[in-house]
Amino acid sequence: MPRTVRPIVALTAGLAALLLAGCTAGSGSDGSQGKGFAGALPGRAPAGATPSPTPTPPPTGPYVALGDSYTAGMQIPPQTGEPRGCARSGVDYPALVAKGLGLSADRFRDVSCTGARTGDLTAAQNTGNGTNPAQLDALTPQTTLVTLGIGGNDAGFTDVVIECAKDSLVDAVKGVVQQTRAASPCRDHYASGDGTDEVQHRVDAAGVRLGQVLQDVKRRSPQARVYVVGYPTVFPADPSGCLPLLGRTVAVGDVAFLAEKQQQLNAMLRQRAQAAGAVFVDAAGPSVGHDMCAGEGERWVEPPFPAGGLAPIHPNAKGHEAVAGLVLKALKG
């Protein structure tokens, strides 16, 4: 295969694997950090005194983790749990959060699953290697902690990244003949006449479904503190940072376009979490500089050519450890 084509093909395969599996997480940066649907109220301060916030003790479980492959820890050893098709890791961030809280095995359930969409939270998911029951069925009135990382698959990011890779490849071939290339062929492909784009419309639609899911979580587990975990930074803010990895066969403008779409997805997750009274845990901000194009010792997300055995364009063990720390900080803050 020609060297000029290989990065695009690998990017297509890598990003497709990512988003087919589940696109799919910063301490909460808003004032609701440390509280969920059932945040504690501060005690009344004496007259004339300045009230001091009363720390909310970390929950003692039961804890239920919901989400897609960015939650499940796709291909990170050891792979545990059933069904095997969920590709759930024993050291994904939910497992590390449970460990950090000192929860016993009977007070922690990780039902996250590779490939999950919001619809798979309320209905069984066929993984191709076993069926994962509806994730929300793991919730009970006794559940005191819920983390949720989902939304990328609903937004159709699989199709988007494949289209971007394809458009860049076609444009690269045309450029050989015409000696000119488009700044962002993928952005041009998705442009719409209303000033937004088709991808933004998908993100907005996913937000509506997420809002309904969060209401269902509240109904099933009214005492639970709920944390919506965002996606870590996959693409750098400066797309030129990916040139050493991807070369110039991928339009720099398209790398920027994909980074922008991820920012819009995280913004939607934050908005929906806050509207539902949940806490948003920002993983994008703390992971700046740890994107897929960072060096091997710095990255939290693997590139299209991942380290042996790991999933392309997915968080690695270091990424899950970092996200677990962010969730624990939000819980104890």
Instruction: Name the residues annotated as catalytic.
Output: 69, 314
CB 62 within 8 A of CB 141: no
Distances (CA, A) of 195 to 181, 190, 198, 257: 23, 11, 10, 15
Q: How far is it, in rounded angstroms, from Cα 273 to Cα 32?
A: 10
Name the residue type at position 224: A
Cβ contacts of 266 within 8 Å, gap of 6 or more: 230, 231, 282, 284
Tokens matching residue 209: 């479904």
Distances (CA, A) of 302 to 15, 75, 155, 201, 325: 11, 11, 21, 28, 19
Q: How far is it, in rounded angstroms, from Cα 68 to Cα 206?
A: 14
Tokens matching residue 297: 């010792």
Element (H, E) at 226: strand 225-229
CB 109 within 8 A of CB 146: no
Q: How far is it, in rounded angstroms, from Cα 260 to Cα 155?
A: 14
Distances (CA, A) of 48 to 44, 45, 51, 52: 11, 8, 9, 12
Q: Find where tokens 């497709």 sit.
A: 16
Phi, psi of 175 (to 5 degrees): -65, -30
